[in-house]
Structure 1
Amino acid sequence: MHADASGLTDKLAAPMNAIVSRHRAALMPMLGGSGPAARAALENDEAVRKVAMFCYPLLPGIVRLAVKEHSFVNFVMNNRQHLLSRLTVDTPSAA
């Protein structure tokens, strides 16, 4: 089972990182907005699940064919700190 989890990480980490980078502005409100609030929201299963469900349709089609939404949501829930860490870092506003 550990090999399956490692394979899933290999398949999903890069696309998820790309989604987080591209859609930061849309994802931040789901985690409370600012860096400190986002860090706290990573402990909130409902907030992380909401982010995962937002991100799933943004995955490449071939990935969605291979990985069903339920598996993806579980993957994000289990790897939230690693996958969503970019969202929890305060960055200067671009606007």
Structure 2
Amino acid sequence: MTNPDEQAKLASKLMEPVSRIVGKHAVVLAPMLNNGTAMTQSALSNDAAVTTVASYCYALLPGLVRMAVKEPAFISFVLANRVKLLGKLAPGHAGAAG
């Protein structure tokens, strides 16, 4: 998934459903980013934590989306767009997550 056009198409299809999932499940997702400790901005830099959150979110996507987008592509998308998608879970990133 190195083609910028493919990445843009994926982003346009996934941004809204993933943002909805993050908002709805913030209480469950926030501890995954930083092992249940206080959230910090550096939590978004932790690839393993963000991957865990992405895997959890992937399972919550509608079935048709999961059929169209495979989990590795979804995880790459979340890693590439972590501040936009998960920023509202970490203090100091609230404005960037809109």
Tell me the TM-score range normalised by the shorter chain: 0.7 to 0.9
User: Residue 83 of structure 1 corresponds to which residue in structure 2?
Assistant: 85
Displacement, 1:81?
1.0
Q: Write the letter of the residue equivalent to 2:63.
A: G
User: Residue 45 of structure 2 corresponds to which residue in structure 1?
Assistant: 43
User: Residue 64 of structure 2 corresponds to which residue in structure 1?
Assistant: 62
User: Deviating runs (4+, > 4 A) in structure 1?
Assistant: none
Structure 1: tracts of 5 or more residues without a match: none
C-alpha contact (below 8 Å) 1:48/1:77 kept by paired residues: yes
2, 12, 15: which one pairs with 1:13?
15
C-alpha contact (below 8 Å) 1:28/1:87 kept by paired residues: yes
1:53 aligns with 2:55: yes
User: What is the alpha-carbon distance in structure 2 between the residues aligned to residue 30 and residue 66 of structure 1?
Assistant: 26
Displacement, 1:2?
1.1
- Give the length in aligned residue pairs: 89
User: What is the alpha-carbon distance in structure 1 between the residues aligned to residue 84 and residue 32 of structure 2?
Assistant: 17
User: What is the alpha-carbon distance in structure 1 between the residues aligned to residue 59 and residue 32 of structure 2?
Assistant: 16
Q: TM-score, normalised by structure 1?
A: 0.86
Structure with bigger RCO (C-alpha 8 Å, 6+ apart): 1
User: How big is each residue's C-alpha offset from its partner over 1:34-91, in whole Å with a ceiling of 9 and x where there is no partner?
Assistant: 44x2x21110110000000110010011110100001000110111111111111479
